[in-house]
Structure 1
Amino acid sequence: MTYVITPPREYFDRGAERLRERGITFESVRNVDPLDDGTIVAQQVVRGERAAVRSALEETGPTVVDYHVTDAAGATVLQLHYRPSDLTRELLTIHQRHAVVLEYPLEYTGARNRSLRVSEIGRGDALRRVIEETRAIVDVEIERLVDYEPSAQRLVADLTDRQREVLRVAVEEGYYEEPRRVTYGDVAARLECSAGTVGQHLRRIEARLMPTLVDGDRPRSEIDRERDRPPTGPSR
């Protein structure tokens, strides 16, 4: 399901207005990670001068815990650790409560990019509850509805948060394009880890996903049993 949400005051977090006042445009959200202490770590793509981004963030006071600005593939990427507004916190809580999976990136859209296009995977009843509760706090416009595919959700759910992040970055950077545009090292630079770690993650991801993609409609339990079965040697 894909829908667009528009906050009642034209912003999800007041601190974002500081950046807009400096000419910064929000383009997409690559990842959002709520932490146990109530803060959030989010990775966003913005358009504007890096100096203006830093200057605006320095003026937000205690809302921003930490930040890091980098350039990647022609885009300015903002890694932001911050204290979210009540609105943002409630929106995230709704998704967590109903166990739906957000499909990144989330795209800013609408007038002055103040709305956010959201795509989710989940069961029909869960998605309906998400929409009902979300509509109680923001405007919602549904753009697309598709049938729920358990196998599609399972493909994502079987991966750890870190594996999903590694896979997302690898795809964004062009690792799976033909011809391949980047190496493990290029992906590792985005993730701030070693090339060996990226290779290990991608091999595990591929080992997990490929049986499902190749075997199509076969039950996942059957595929798992075959994968976990110990190899047999020649009989004596």
Structure 2
Amino acid sequence: MLPHLSGWFIKCLGESSIVKRLRVSITAHGREGDIHPMYGVLTRAPFVERATALQWNFTGDALGILHYVEGDADAFAAAADDVDAVVGYDIEPVDDGAFYVYVRDATTASLAELFGPVSRGGLVVVPPIVYGADGTVTLTVFGPDEELQAAMGEVPDPIEVTVEAVGSLATSRVAPTARLTDRQREAVEAGLDLGYYDVPRTADHEAVADALGCAPSTAAEHLRKAESKLLRAVLGGE
């Protein structure tokens, strides 16, 4: 067990529920590139303003990971081209300042040591993983007490782990979109496709109603309820 994870951390893990939710931040103290060059790009590159890992698959010898990045897509592509460990990547622009990028990496020994402890047994890493401009990475892990303690204790140097919060399944936050009904989700997706949420707006709720095949008042109600749920989930902490 790492020294700074003892005491309060062990006490919290030992209380009540067998399965715990652990919110942690990790940092390599400026040595992110030593673990994997793309780790350094995502946390330290001047052309990346913000990066979030949305989904990933770690097989032991390769890592496929989907990111949402706010920054310069061309500069990111140039950086990825210079990394030998990047097997391939695909960039899909969102707008002038943001893009999705799927990167397939060959793993380094350090990266395997980092992902290994949280990729085996009964542990579940819940997206997103958020990269900070200061080099920190924040993530949430669910699992049995003993496996969480073991995983945190196996994190290799130069990574330092800081426990931000420990909770139970009951304290978990549901993904905002999971709160929507199917019809509310369809209304929001139609609004996005049609330009209802563009600035300036290029479609109204009547256009959304036409896409859904319902009355304008019904479409407006779906949009209003969906927006209320999403805002409360994101800003209200519900």
Do both proteins adopt the same fold according to a TM-score greater than 0.5, normalized to the shorter chain?
yes
> Are residues 141 and 21 of structure 1, via their aligned partners in 2, closer, same or farther at CA, if it must alter by over 3 Å?
closer
Pair 1:44 & 2:67 matched? yes
Residue 219 of structure 1 is matched in structure 2 by none
Q: CA offsets per residue over residues 184-211 of structure 1, 9 Å max, x none?
A: xx7xxxxxxxxxxxxxxxxxxxxxxxxx
Residue 228 of structure 2 is matched in structure 1 by none
Shift, 1:171, TM fit: 3.5
Separation in 2, partners of 1:33, 1:178: 30
How many aligned positions are there? 163
> Are residues 107 and 17 of structure 1, via their aligned partners in 2, closer, same or farther at CA, if it must alter by over 3 Å?
closer
Partner of 1:145: helix, strand, or coil?
Answer: strand
Separation in 2, partners of 1:67, 1:54: 8
Q: Which of 138, 142, 155 is 1:121 aligned to?
A: 142
Q: Which of 124, 138, 145 is 2:159 aligned to?
A: 138
Partner of 1:99: helix, strand, or coil?
Answer: coil
Pair 1:66 & 2:73 matched? no
Give the letter aligned to residue 135 of structure 2: R
Separation in 2, partners of 1:124, 1:32: 24
Tell me: higher relative CO, structure 1 or 2? Use CA pairs within 8 A at least 6 residues apart: 2
Residue 200 of structure 1 is matched in structure 2 by none
Q: Which of 113, 118, 136 is 1:95 aligned to?
A: 118
Give the letter aligned to residue 53 of structure 2: V
Residue 226 of structure 1 is matched in structure 2 by none
Unaligned 5+ segments in structure 1 are 153-167, 187-236
Shift, 1:118, TM fit: 1.2
Separation in 1, partners of 2:23, 2:119: 17
Shift, 1:35, TM fit: 3.1
Shift, 1:98, TM fit: 3.3
Partner of 2:188: helix, strand, or coil?
Answer: coil
Unaligned 5+ segments in structure 2 are 1-21, 194-238
Q: CA offsets per residue over residues 29-76 of structure 1, 9 Å max, x none?
A: 11121236x11101112221211111111222x311110111348731
> Are residues 10 and 45 of structure 1, via their aligned partners in 2, closer, same or farther at CA, if it must alter by over 3 Å?
farther
Separation in 1, partners of 2:23, 2:181: 27
Pair 1:24 & 2:48 matched? yes
Per residue, is there more strand in 1 or in 2? 2
Q: State the TM-score, normalizing by the size of structure 2.
A: 0.58
Partner of 2:151: helix, strand, or coil?
Answer: helix
Partner of 1:134: helix, strand, or coil?
Answer: coil
Shift, 1:9, TM fit: 4.1
Separation in 1, partners of 2:30, 2:78: 24
Q: State the TM-score, normalizing by the size of structure 1.
A: 0.58
Q: Which of 185, 188, 191 is 1:181 aligned to?
A: 188
Give me the identity figure in percent: 16
Separation in 2, partners of 1:176, 1:7: 42
